[in-house]
Chain A
Amino acid sequence: MKRISYFLLLTGLLSSCAQKEQKLPILGSREPVEKTVDGKTVVDTVYQTIPSFKFINQDSVTVTEKDFDNVVYVADFFFTSCTSICPVMHRNMLKVYHAYKNNPGVKILSHSIDSKYDTPSVMKKYAKKLGVTGNQWQFVNGPHDEIYNIAAKNYLVSVEEDGNDPQNYIHQGWFVLIDKQKRLRGAYDGTNPQQVNQLIKDIQVLLNEYKH
């Protein structure tokens, strides 16, 4: 179901990109809220945002939502010993990394869904072998439930443990684009090179929004 709704959103996204004045849609749930401005009641829309979080990164440093204030970032979910879609996802994420390398306004946040095995030192080794240095691309690990909750509720990516799967996890390879207000602005299939190329373009579109 989530997959379908993402597909619809994606279609909307792609068609909106064809327009001249480019602006990415805002995804996720929204609520109308009544506010009083200058004594008048106006209706404002409140969009779904990423809540506060606290994880540990590949350098054993605590990472919170504050580290992503004032940047746009791409989030995904993986684990280092994953032999199925993760190599493809991170081959593609490397393209995003290289496209915006040294741009302080863009970050990447990869959450491990294997909190037992993926200790900071394991993630550090993984990052190094992938060719990632510095902290523009963070690999984080945290309590099982917190990672799974933020994936499903906030980034709208489904991850589950599955005893039937030889790899023990089923998860989706979405790359989710988050803006400076921590709203969801795009979801791209991280295993699909065309969609990842679209993401690389859309990051620039999003950055342009903040130029005025």
Chain B
Amino acid sequence: MSAKINLIAYNTILNKEVGRFVRIWIQTLLPPAISMTLYFVIFGNLIGPRIGTMSGYTYMDYIAPGIIMMAVINNSYANVVASFFSAKFQRHIEEMMVAPVPNFVILAGYITGGVARGLMVGVIVTIVALFFTDIDVKHPVITFAVVLLTSVLFSLGGLINGIYARKFDDISIIPAFILTPLIYLGGVFYSIKLLPDFWLMISTFNPILYMVNAFRYGILGISDIDITLAFVIIILFIITLTTLALYLLQKGTGVKT
């Protein structure tokens, strides 16, 4: 009985979340399509031929998985942080807090919403990529698992950011100052093998490196790092962030006074 009630609550949150980003598709689905097209045109088409090959692939082919991953990460995060913060800001988060919705259901609803947007944007960017390059997925299961888990991970990050955020600025600080640098330095546009030893070592502390490379491995079959390690890292992060998010929801941080 309780499972059924929880399922109804979960579906309600999920529908609301998906409805939200679809309703405002001009802000949520269109921009990544445009900016990622620009990446392909500028880095792939114009500059790429001058760079030559990377790890045996044309530059365009090499960056395509990274660009898809970048879009998935950004959009999963952005969806949850914006949605949760605006629910707090408009106070309709209270609708959920007064109802008997367990915290894990709230968490699951928001995370699935973030994953839905992340994957939808991933598909859109993949379609864009197909205009520029032939993507031939080498390991479909790994590809899907990596993109799904990464999307979950960054949706969790967005949720935690949304819980702590007090004003609109707070929802763009982490993406601008932490997420974007980590993504750009995470091997989206280059193989870390090109880096001097010191920076190569530093790069191995960047978790996004593992996700980008694991995804590239799924598609192209090449990677700078060990795939198993990548999965271990992603899953450890997911466990840690889930625990933290549940704790914060339980405490009512940012919501209850």
Whether A associates with B in a native complex is no
